[in-house]
Amino acid sequence: MFIFLLILGAALMIYGFIRKAEEAREQVLSTGKDDILSFRDQSSQVSPLSMEAVEEVSDLRYRMETLEKTLFEEILKWQMERELLKSEIGKKEEDSKEPTSETAVDEVEEKEQSEKKPMPDHVKQVWGLVNEGRSTAGIAKELGISKGEVLLLKNLSKHYKE
């Protein structure tokens, strides 16, 4: 009995939704006919203002189509360039041999050494005193700079050639 009542309720709800949709469709169609008839009456009386609006809309439509074409062409060019670059990179990777780990480490160290700049004089002074075994406070007193500056110059000396 309970299942029968559920089925009956669901059927009535579906019937109600269908009925409501039909009424809405009829209302739209009836108002649509009225709008079409009123539009025909208005179109026979075209004002100069509406002609300007029509021209402006057509101009905007033309400009938008031109922009879309240009944008599409640019995107297509970028995609083609990207694919070309990907294929070139793939070819280079295939052509190049993978170096052994020892040669790779040596190459990285050589590259770092070649990128390092010569050590300035004030950094050389600090580094020389550090190599003599002096303390940070002693170096700071002797050179007349702060301890923080000595520590900074010690750390920066790693980035220079000796």
Q: Which residue carries 């002074």 as its tokens?
A: 125
Indicate the number of domains in the chain. Answer: 2
CATH number where 143 lies: 1.10.10
Same domain assignment for residues 122 and 157: yes
Determine, yes or no, domain membership for 143: yes
Confidence at residue 14, expressed as pLDDT on a 0 to 100 scale: 92
Confidence at residue 88, expressed as pLDDT on a 0 to 100 scale: 85
> How far is the C-alpha of 17 from the C-alpha of 112, rounded, in Å?
76
SS3 of residue 117 by DSSP:
strand
Determine, yes or no, domain membership for 4: no
Same domain assignment for residues 124 and 156: yes
φ/ψ of 118, rounded to 5, equals: -65, 150
Q: Which residues contact 134 (CB under 8 A, 6 or more apart)?
A: 142
Same domain assignment for residues 122 and 156: yes
Determine, yes or no, domain membership for 32: no
Determine, yes or no, domain membership for 7: no
Q: Is 47 exposed, middle or buried (0-12, 13-18, 19+ CB in 10 A)?
A: exposed
Domain ranges, residue 78: 52-93
DSSP labels for 22-43?
HHHHHHHHHHHHHHHHHHHHHH
Q: How many Cβ atoms sit within 10 Å of the Cβ of residue 140?
A: 19
What is the 8-class DSSP label of residue 159?
A: G
Which ranges constitute the DSSP H helices of 44-98? 48-95
Query: Tokens standing for 85?
Result: 């670059």
Determine, yes or no, domain membership for 17: no
Determine, yes or no, domain membership for 106: no
Confidence at residue 43, expressed as pLDDT on a 0 to 100 scale: 52
Confidence at residue 15, expressed as pLDDT on a 0 to 100 scale: 92
CB 28 within 8 Å of CB 34: no
Confidence at residue 11, expressed as pLDDT on a 0 to 100 scale: 93
From first to last of its 162 residues, what are the pLDDT tens digits of the chain?
888 888 999 999 999 999 888 888 887 777 655 665 565 555 555 566 677 888 888 888 998 888 888 888 888 888 888 888 888 888 777 766 555 455 555 665 555 555 566 667 777 788 788 888 888 889 888 888 888 888 887 777 666 655
Determine, yes or no, domain membership for 82: yes
Determine, yes or no, domain membership for 157: yes
What is the 8-class DSSP label of residue 44?
A: T
Query: Tokens standing for 47?
Result: 């004002």
Same domain assignment for residues 83 and 120: no
Same domain assignment for residues 85 and 122: no
Same domain assignment for residues 89 and 126: no
Confidence at residue 55, expressed as pLDDT on a 0 to 100 scale: 85
